[in-house]
């Protein structure tokens, strides 16, 4: 059954400072900074609904998830996860593609996970972005409480998927652009043409 995700992002963070704040707040580190790979699978029909399928290899487990960002607000994302010890990354991608949902983007990121009271806090690194923090909990109040303990201003919270983060960093993209349109998203790649603002000139 679809479940709403109650989460908020805080952008452009200093990782060392965030770790210090988490430690001071009594948080527990669950997973140290770990390479993560994703396959994003999408059809035009899913795109029209702001939805996609994701296969994610987190190092110690592989998850398959249906994601839909219905609204850019707290609790505006819908998720249907499938977790099992037997899931293999490549086989899961092959299975979904066999259903007629092609893989549009292969993405490599890094993620560190902490537990702060009832909230899960992740520090995320994505290619061509500054690090950011995502706080997820069962209720909006719990997300807010965790954010306050870490010293974040709630007015600066960002809601939605990774696309909104790229759109804020590269405003020339517009609201219709998607990082899924890039076949590969990797740290060792130069800034893609899609993210280059060619209207800007040097003074």
The total number of structural domains that make up the chain: 1
Over residues 89-144, the pLDDT tens digits come to 999 999 999 999 999 999 999 999 999 999 999 999 999 999 999 999 999 999 99
CATH number of residue 109's parent domain = 2.40.320.10
**Alpha-carbon gap, residue 157 to 168, rounded angstroms:** 12
Of 86, 84, 46, 48, the closest CA to residue 66 belongs to 46
Residue 203 lies in a domain: no
pTM for this predicted structure: 0.89
Residue 93 lies in a domain: yes
Alpha helices in the chain (DSSP H): 15-24, 44-48, 89-98, 140-149, 162-169
Residue 142: how many other CB atoms lie within 10 Å? 17
Residue 38 lies in a domain: yes
Over residues 13-48, the pLDDT tens digits come to 999 999 999 999 999 999 999 999 999 999 999 999
Residue 202 lies in a domain: no
Quote the domain boundaries for residue 125: 3-195
Residue 159 lies in a domain: yes
Which two tokens mark 109? 């990121």
Say if residue 26 is exposed, middle or buried (CB neighbours under 10 Å; 0-12, 13-18, 19+): exposed
């Amino acid at each position: 059954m679809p479940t709403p995700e109650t989460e908020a992002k805080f952008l452009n963070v200093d990782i060392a400072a965030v770790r210090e704040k988490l430690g001071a707040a009594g948080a527990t580190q669950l997973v140290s900074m770990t390479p993560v790979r994703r396959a994003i699978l999408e059809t035009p029909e899913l795109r029209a609904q702001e939805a996609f399928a994701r296969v994610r290899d987190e190092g110690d487990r592989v998850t398959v998830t249906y994601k839909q960002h219905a609204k850019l607000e707290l609790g505006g994302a819908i998720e249907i996860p499938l977790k099992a010890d037997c899931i293999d990354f490549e086989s899961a991608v092959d299975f979904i593609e066999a259903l007629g949902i092609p893989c549009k983007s292969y993405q490599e990121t890094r993620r560190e996970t902490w537990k702060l009271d009832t909230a899960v806090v992740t520090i995320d690194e994505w290619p061509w972005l500054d690090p950011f923090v995502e706080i997820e909990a069962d209720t909006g109040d719990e997300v807010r409480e965790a954010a306050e303990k870490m010293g974040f201003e709630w007015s600066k919270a960002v809601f939605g998927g990774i696309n909104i983060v790229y759109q804020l960093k590269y405003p020339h993209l517009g609201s219709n652009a998607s990082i899924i349109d890039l076949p590969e998203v990797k740290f060792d790649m130069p800034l893609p043409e899609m993210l280059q603002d060619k209207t800007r000139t040097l003074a």
